[in-house]
Amino acid sequence: MKQLINKHRGFTLIELMVALAAGMFLLGGVSLAYSSINNSTTTVKDLENSLDVIRFSSKIFTRSLKQTNSIPTYSNKILKVTQEAGVLACTGSIINAAFTEEYSHENDSLFCDIGNGKVKILKGVNTISYAIDNNMVSIFVEPINLPSQFNKRLVIDISLSQIVMNKAFQ
């Protein structure tokens, strides 16, 4: 008897199911990796923006508070810092007469007013508040999208160096 040998062409159902399962496993791994990378990228961008807000806040307030000769005042959510003539103002210009810097917060921005109207100096601030204790000013800054491990805000403590030095050498 003659046996006919059938040559199989294509794949069996089991082979196709195994290939499908392997493909789904690989696709699931790729999607998890993408999701993780995307989440990390978003967190890094949020942290970068938050650090820029903190860095700029620290720089502008350190310069302003260290060069003043009088204790700042804080009322109605406005920090007022009186400056002498010839110093750099919060707007970036040197003023040739005594002036007062008024820092205020609206929406997501920090503004400074030296008598010529408000100037937006920083964007990305959720809240900002101040505490004045003798010769120390504490600035409580909450940038937008600050990661949760920072307890929603950071504190910048700045000594009123000019006042301290004037008292020390009197």
pLDDT single digits (tens) 68-117: 999 999 999 999 999 999 999 998 899 999 999 999 999 999 999 999 89
What does the pLDDT read at residue 11?
80
Minimal CA–CA distance to 64: which of 28, 97, 27, 92? 92
What does the pLDDT read at residue 140?
94
The H-assigned helical ranges of 11-108 are 13-67
CA distance 132 to 71: 8
CA distance 81 to 75: 12
Q: Would you kindly state where each structural domain of the chain is located, as residue ranges?
A: 27-168
What does the pLDDT read at residue 2?
58
CA distance 123 to 34: 30
> What is the pLDDT confidence band of residue 1, given thresholds at 50, 70 and 90?
low
What does the pLDDT read at residue 62?
94
What does the pLDDT read at residue 107?
92
pTM of the model: 0.77
Whether residue 167 is predicted with pLDDT greater than 70 in this model: the reply is yes
Whether residue 65 is predicted with pLDDT greater than 90 in this model: the reply is yes
